Chain A
């Protein structure tokens, strides 16, 4: 694997208009999900009188803070359906959007370190195969072949007992993905409005008819929340609750190195995951900080713990330097699955709860959410993900596939 040169992009990919008085659809949140939703509304439903509002800059939230892992090897049918649809859309994204996003199908290894890990992993591989998702169980020797720098000796605290491997999984360049969607959506007529914070909703009976912002009132036929970690704050303003807790999630990079890491390695058990970016930085992440937090920063001991795990698995990292750390605000549900569908407020929709793993879902979530907004009913892909599952008890428990992993 060699470093790939980044092409130049034009000075401006979208215009920066002032908000109009009214839109058919106002999307709150200009991360990956908001932008992909706007693109799909325009492309598949002919709805172009749309604004995407962001309180900061486009993709300044989790979208350009994530570690970009893309895979579809989740356990349950509902998850396989939406994540595999997404992975297929990643495979054609560069053509669909006419833009480089550096999608690299270098495979993802999920390591097993205990007997229970091994049983769960093999079960997941079988479930994946039944759902047409590429997956295999690999032995420690095969792990070593896929990623030669990994330590498979059995004299470490949690030796590698094998792993699951999804060859079609990989990474992409997250900021470029956001720009690709933004550019296309803008070309089709969507207004992308930055530095525009929604501070309240305008209601008429049980129905939303607009949003209050720091740049004035904007009337809206429909309002779609795509605010990830901030969804509770917005739902609160609209008078309903969402079953999420917002946690800090951190990641970090090293300085640039020769390409030494050919794939993506994740370990739930020792709490680390690693890939190497196109330019050469080692990109690493771990689990969330335990407490609720909107600070876009977490605690350093989480990073220490994750580095200890990384160095044990990859002894050559011992002399790499930590260059930069940062955090996002992730929206975690109790079953580690997202929420997408209608809300108790008429003409208001919610898409949240993707927690630590919603980057990979951007293309399919955009597709399904746009359908939900346009038709006032869920797409088959998100029918199981409505708020009602917390009342019926039909949870979609993806802790095994999602826990630390992304």
Chain B
């Protein structure tokens, strides 16, 4: 079981959280202009690195707030947690799909 530090409540057991997948995937700014290939990328493709990954978690059995974490998908170590309206703090490239940050 992972211990995940909620940025609002502090460290809690993984069982208090639900997982939201890749972070920083914004809804397309101009949906009408998207090709089928671009829709496929938005709907069905997410990054899947072996290593550090920016992802969303919700503290669903706690404060119920969503936040982002940078976690290593190989060691499962969490290196950063941050608010949804903040940029990825560890300087790694953002997801190629990101056009805009999701507001809090």
Taking Cβ atoms with an 8 Å cutoff, the residues of A that contact B are: 230, 232-233, 236, 241-246, 290-295, 299-301, 333-334, 390-393
Contact = CB atoms under 8 A, between A and B. Distances in A.
Contacts of B19: 290-291
Interface in B15-29: 15, 18-19, 21
A293 B55 CA distance: 12
B53 interface: yes
Given A292-B55, A391-B36, A243 B50 contact: no
A333 B74 CA distance: 20
A247 to B, nearest CB: 10
11 contacts: A232-B50, A233-B50, A243-B40, A243-B44, A245-B21, A245-B48, A293-B74, A295-B76, A301-B15, A334-B44, A390-B40
Contacts of B41: 241
Contact of A294 (B36, B44, B47, B74): B74
B14 A233 contact: no
Q: Is the interface of A mostly helix, strand, loop or mixed?
A: loop
Given A230-B50, A391-B39, 14 more contacts: A241-B41, A243-B40, A243-B44, A246-B50, A291-B71, A293-B76, A295-B75, A299-B14, A300-B1, A301-B15, A391-B37, A391-B40, A392-B36, A393-B36
Contact of B73 (A244, A293, A301, A392): A293
A328 B21 CA distance: 19
B44 A299 contact: no
A290 B18 contact: yes
A75 to B, nearest CB: 20
A292 B45 contact: no
Interface string B44-83: 1111111001010000000000000001011110000000
Contacts of A300: 1
Contacts of A301: 1, 14-15
A292 B76 CA distance: 9
Kindly state the interface size class of chain B when it binds its partner: 20 to 34
A301 B12 CA distance: 14
B2 interface: yes
A239 to B, nearest CB: 12
Nearest to B69: A291
Contacts of A292: 21, 48, 53, 55, 73
Contacts, number: 63
B73 A299 contact: no
A335 to B, nearest CB: 8
The 5 closest A-B pairs by CB, nearest first: A232-B48, A290-B19, A243-B44, A294-B50, A390-B40
A243 B1 contact: no
Contacts of B46: 245
B18 A246 contact: no
Contacts of A334: 43-44
A31 B18 CA distance: 32
A294 B75 CA distance: 8
B31 to A, nearest CB: 15
Given A292-B55, A299-B2, A233 B49 contact: yes
A244 B73 CA distance: 14
Nearest to A248: B76
Contacts of A291: 19, 55, 71, 73
Nearest to B75: A295
A236 B49 contact: yes
Nearest to A297: B76
A232 B1 CA distance: 25
Contact of B48 (A244, A290, A299, A391): A244
Nearest to B35: A391
A299 B14 CA distance: 9
Nearest to A392: B36
A290 B41 CA distance: 21
Nearest to B38: A391
B14 A241 contact: no
Given A292-B73, A295-B74, A246 B1 contact: no
Interface string B73-95: 11110000000000000000000
A294 B41 CA distance: 23
A303 B36 CA distance: 40
A241 B73 contact: no
